[in-house]
Structure 1
Amino acid sequence: MASDHVTEIAVFAALFLLVSGMGFVAARWRRAATMDNLDEWGLGGRSFGSWITWFLIGGDLYTAYTFVAVPALVFGAGAAGFFAVPYTIVVYPLVFLFLIRLWSVSHVHGFVTPADFVRARFGSPTLALAVAVTGIVATMPYIALQLVGIEAVLKAMGVHGHWPIIIAFVILAAYTYQSGLRAPALIAFVKDVLIYLVIIVAVLYIPAKLGGWGDVFGAARDKFEATPKPDDGIVLGSAGQLNYAMLALGSAMALFLYPHSVTGVLAARNRDCVKRNMAALPAYSLVLGLIALLGYMAIAAEVVPITTDGKTDTNTVVPVLFDQMFPDWFAGVAFAAIGIGALVPAAIMSIAAANLFTRNIYKEYLRRDATEKQEATVSKLVSLVVKAGAVACILALDPEFSIDLQLIGGVIILQTLPSVGLGLMTRWFHRGALIAGWACGLAAGLWMLYQIPNPAKGKEHFGGSAYPLSDLGLDTSSTMYVGMLALAVNVVVAVVGTVACGAAGIADGADATRGADYTADEDDPKIKELDLAGST
């Protein structure tokens, strides 16, 4: 009952109100002459330095759902849950060169979204529309999952019902509308400090109370040996090793294709800022590894996830662990860290989705002569709609279904890799072939996801992301991440289609970018400045 958690609720509410106040004050932080353009409202004036960018991107990528879902997966499946650690290590060197080039070309041309780049690079509004719609669809369930994280914390404090989530997102919507990207950038400082504090205390304090790390790992080993399953255990089974590797690699490639990830990068001041962040952000991976270990601590502490209406919510594993292990006041701090960890990415995601709609749908197809002020106004309004849609998902759908939607979202966003990721390195692909590859990759990915059952959850379809290779006629018990298989289909179609279009002499779109655009820095002139110089 909530009456048993008064101290926790009070601390949680106080810290939540503190960051909400910071969100409203953020409009005056690094104040711009006007917020009536997407550069200022949606990208913070493209002026964030290394420290702000580090907290912003880290606050964007390491979400409340990461805090609750990764340990919950370790709690239920063991070693398989640690896939998030190698993928966040692999991702930064993998995207290092790509993101620097994206920052530079976006600086020169004023791109706000990845679809803006695709529109200019391949001269195809249709391909840009495909990228924009893909980004919006993949982002929506991601926002909803931040609500799942908050809901798990509220359940642990004995607060049931959806009204606290609605209030939290109304406040979030209000200060995001007013302050734009500056709000999550400022709040990210508090969020990251709280998370580092809670995790450091947890890995020192909780194992000591449980008898030491030997007892923690021993309890985990005993649990998995008592209920043997092919891919469960503190050591990964052979059948799941390929899927583990491909899931980590696919997740790494997908991470910076998400629109909110690009938004954080484009807000950086210069190329060096992006470079320093790609070098420093792996520090978060250390924290993520420690977060994953909370799943084993929960096993040793004999945590029982909360059951509501006959359904067990495994996302409550970490909140219940904190409630059992920590003094009430510090449990409140830990819950606030998770709750605030939901607000930062949710704000950035809603801004990124709104910018995609404004730039690549509204301005491209509905109002080509839209002014910068009109663009900003539309983005602000759409950001409200996006948040309302995320809340509606939680109210109308089973949270378990929202998790499945996020899984589908990862497979979907990977299909923009040839046009966005490879497009940053080469102009070889034909725009028609990229559209065909995108469509075929999506169709193949969704078909494979539909074919995967999950008997444990009573699901005949969309029961996971590990596709049995035996279904492709291979004599093996191994599985493989659907996203990588779908991407392979995408790339093959794009390559074959490009060769075929070239042989048939089908006209391609014009490339509006130049080679020098991809190495430009903050002191290099922008297109608008060049236009002004040419008109004098």
Structure 2
Amino acid sequence: MHNVNWVALVVFVLLFALITWLGFAAANWRKGNLDQLHEWGLGGRRFGTLVTWFLIGGDLYTAYTFVAVPALAFGAGAVAFFAVPYTIFVYPILFLVFPRIWHVCHKHGYITAADFVRGRFGNRWLALAVAITGIVATMPYIALQLVGIQVVIGALGISGTGVTGDLPLIIAFIILAAFTYSSGLRAPASIAIVKDILIYVTAFTAIIVIPIQLGGFAKIFAAVPAAKQLLAVPGPHTTGSYGAYVTLALGSAFALMLYPHSMTGVLSASSGHAVRRNAAILPAYSFMLGLLALFGFFAIAAGVAKDPQFAEGFKEFGNNFAVPALFLNAFPSWFVGLAFAAIGIGALVPAAIMSIATANLYTRNIHREFINTNPTDLQEAQMAKWVSLIVKAGALFFILFVPTKFAIYLQLLGGIWIIQTLPAVMLGAYTRWFNDWALLIGWAVGIATGTAMAAAAHLTPTYPLAIGGFTFPGYTAFYTVILNLLIAIVLTPVFNAISTRRAPFDETKAADYFA
């Protein structure tokens, strides 16, 4: 691609060495018995407001976010800014729903969303559906974190074919696997603090320095094509890009907190109050995300796509190379190393949490439920540790041997799939009115319909829903979860009428949902 940037590489490696040490040292931070699953997989539920803020922020705002959102702005323009209202919509949901879930899970020792569904509805198959959905939806998400690392490694000038080209990624995987195995959730929690400081330093420096270099915001926006600065005005009989923008924001917001890694971050908090306080202060990340999205416009104004020295980078990584090219163009090598380390570490934190979360799901809701129904604490924790390694190895295999576009397609499908757990998890936090079998059928129809709609739309996130001569392009996940919910509402009284069960199963009580 180009010569190795040795100064940037040294800074990058030194910062990676720091977080590697932190990852292993975290085993002794707020020390607990890591042979118990709640200690290894939830940090003992002892993280206060500040640590939870870094952990959830590091969990939700991933390396792929930092690369992909500016890349979308660079390539497609204003539609990329849907990520800002999307993350704003998330926090009222977090404030209202998840303290209730935290309280009931703390009361009954639930570690996963599927644990809660099992206890609330008493249906092992509904809990299995929630667990499998979480695992399948998260796997490509982990792979995409490794894409973020791939991009910055390539931008540092390290390239090649075969084992030589893949070696840095393999080393990063080994580091991630080792400290996750030894320290559990404490590792990404401690590393998230360093990662977020680096990201904030990088973002605020860039938002000041680059516009000065480019002659100010007026010149930047003058250089951006007008078609990219605003959403296209809808034609007759369609909501056009407006409908897609709104449903992408709403659907993504409802889906985000249902991902296993989001739930793990919430359940690791020390109290429901810590969750509420985070809902109030996490919007700081939304502000930062808006700044990051502007980097796509900065890259257009800087003309990095036309610069011959970046031609190979764009050829290999597409628009995902826009941010690395922008930083290589604007900053000295030492700061490039810091910025790239922020992105690389920003991949390790969520990848670690995701692998822990999927391991928790498998261990609690598949292995314990269907294979070894009475494991010891040590057996349960050891199983989760091994599964976390297998999950990361699967993600690495995917990136090394499967074209990246398939990981992107699967991640888009993941959003469609995970939102189908909303009625059982989010609404289950408020009511036991729904029949468990009605919820399971609604889930199955939502999964099948969403997958079919995504395939019909050539694996793009939006589907042109046609009703009565009007077309409503919108996020497939948003449409299908409405269908899922309607089916559950219609079938609940039907199944309740024919059920021989005298009263709905529920091992929780109303008081369990409050402090």
For normalisation by structure 2, the TM-score amounts to: 0.95
State the alpha-carbon separation in 1 of the partners of residues 58 and 142 from structure 2: 14
Identical positions, percent: 55
The letter of the residue matching 2:421 is: T
Q: Give 3-state SS (helix, strand or coil) of 1:162's partner.
A: helix
Q: Does structure 1 retain, via aligned residues, the 8 Å contact 2:26–2:186? A: yes
Give per-residue Cα distances to partners, 1:439-494, cap 9 Å, x unaligned: 00001100000001xxxxxxxx32x1111123xx4423441110011111111111
User: Please, which of 491, 498, 504 is the counterpart of residue 497 of structure 1?
Assistant: 491
Name the structure 2 match of 1:174: 178
Q: Does structure 2 retain, via aligned residues, the 8 Å contact 1:36–1:376? A: yes
Q: Does structure 1 retain, via aligned residues, the 8 Å contact 2:231–2:241? A: no
The letter of the residue matching 1:349 is: M
Q: How many residues align?
A: 500
- 1:37-56 paired onto structure 2 within 5 Å: 37-56=36-55
Q: Is 1:343 matched up with 2:348?
A: yes
Q: Does structure 2 retain, via aligned residues, the 8 Å contact 1:80–1:236? A: no
Q: Which moved more, 1:382-391 or 1:237-246?
A: 237-246
Name the structure 2 match of 1:62: 61
State the alpha-carbon separation in 1 of the partners of residues 485 and 303 from structure 2: 47
User: Please, which of 496, 505, 509 is the counterpart of residue 510 of structure 1?
Assistant: 505
State the alpha-carbon separation in 1 of the partners of residues 316 and 469 from structure 2: 37
Give per-residue Cα distances to partners, 1:288-338, cap 9 Å, x unaligned: 000000000000011226546965522111011111111111011000000
Name the structure 2 match of 1:137: 136
State the alpha-carbon separation in 2 of the partners of residues 397 and 447 from structure 1: 22
Q: Give 3-state SS (helix, strand or coil) of 2:225's partner.
A: helix
State the alpha-carbon separation in 2 of the partners of residues 383 and 114 from structure 1: 18
Query: 5+ residue gaps in structure 2?
Result: 160-164, 235-239
Q: Is 1:444 matched up with 2:449?
A: yes
State the alpha-carbon separation in 2 of the partners of residues 5 and 505 from structure 1: 68
Name the structure 2 match of 1:466: 462
Q: Does structure 2 retain, via aligned residues, the 8 Å contact 1:85–1:288? A: yes
Q: Is 1:261 matched up with 2:255?
A: no
User: Please, which of 127, 152, 168 is the counterpart of residue 164 of structure 1?
Assistant: 168
C-alpha displacement at 1:4, in angstroms?
3.9
Give per-residue Cα distances to partners, 1:250-288, cap 9 Å, x unaligned: 000001000110101111111211111111101110000
State the alpha-carbon separation in 2 of the partners of residues 369 and 200 from structure 1: 52
Q: Does structure 2 retain, via aligned residues, the 8 Å contact 1:257–1:417? A: yes
State the alpha-carbon separation in 1 of the partners of residues 275 and 474 from structure 2: 32
The letter of the residue matching 1:73 is: L
Q: Does structure 2 retain, via aligned residues, the 8 Å contact 1:220–1:234? A: no
Name the structure 2 match of 1:274: 275
Classify 1:383/1:56 alpha carbon distance in 2 versus 1 (closer, same or farther; 3 Å).
same
User: Please, which of 179, 199, 203 is the counterpart of residue 199 of structure 1?
Assistant: 203
Name the structure 2 match of 1:287: 288
State the alpha-carbon separation in 1 of the partners of residues 225 and 45 from structure 2: 49
State the alpha-carbon separation in 2 of the partners of residues 113 and 482 from structure 1: 26
Name the structure 2 match of 1:408: 413
State the alpha-carbon separation in 2 of the partners of residues 18 and 491 from structure 1: 47
Q: Which moved more, 1:233-242 or 1:292-301?
A: 233-242
State the alpha-carbon separation in 2 of the partners of residues 30 and 390 from structure 1: 30
Give per-residue Cα distances to partners, 1:370-397, cap 9 Å, x unaligned: 0111110000000000000100110121
Name the structure 2 match of 1:78: 77
User: Please, which of 470, 478, 485 is the counterpart of residue 476 of structure 1?
Assistant: 470
Q: Does structure 2 retain, via aligned residues, the 8 Å contact 1:155–1:306? A: no
State the alpha-carbon separation in 2 of the partners of residues 149 and 387 from structure 1: 15
State the alpha-carbon separation in 1 of the partners of residues 4 and 359 from structure 2: 41
State the alpha-carbon separation in 2 of the partners of residues 355 and 195 from structure 1: 29
Name the structure 1 match of 2:400: 395
The letter of the residue matching 2:480 is: A
Give per-residue Cα distances to partners, 1:55-111, cap 9 Å, x unaligned: 010010000001000000000111100010001011101231210000000010000
State the alpha-carbon separation in 2 of the partners of residues 310 and 68 from structure 1: 16
Name the structure 1 match of 2:373: 368
Q: Give 3-state SS (helix, strand or coil) of 2:57's partner.
A: helix
Q: Give 3-state SS (helix, strand or coil) of 1:513's partner.
A: coil
Query: 5+ residue gaps in structure 1?
Result: 225-231, 453-460, 521-536
For normalisation by structure 1, the TM-score amounts to: 0.91
Q: Is 1:146 matched up with 2:145?
A: yes
State the alpha-carbon separation in 2 of the partners of residues 306 and 63 from structure 1: 26
- 1:226-241 paired onto structure 2 within 5 Å: 232-238=228-234, 239-241=240-242
Name the structure 1 match of 2:126: 127
Name the structure 1 match of 2:237: none
C-alpha displacement at 1:504, in angstroms?
2.3
Q: Give 3-state SS (helix, strand or coil) of 2:474's partner.
A: strand
Q: Does structure 2 retain, via aligned residues, the 8 Å contact 1:467–1:481? A: yes
Q: Give 3-state SS (helix, strand or coil) of 2:39's partner.
A: helix
C-alpha displacement at 1:417, in angstroms?
0.2
Q: Which moved more, 1:85-94 or 1:307-316?
A: 307-316
C-alpha displacement at 1:243, in angstroms?
1.0
State the alpha-carbon separation in 1 of the partners of residues 341 and 217 from structure 2: 26
Give per-residue Cα distances to partners, 1:339-391, cap 9 Å, x unaligned: 00001000000000000000000000000110111110000000000000100
Q: Give 3-state SS (helix, strand or coil) of 1:30's partner.
A: coil
Classify 1:516/1:38 alpha carbon distance in 2 versus 1 (closer, same or farther; 3 Å).
same
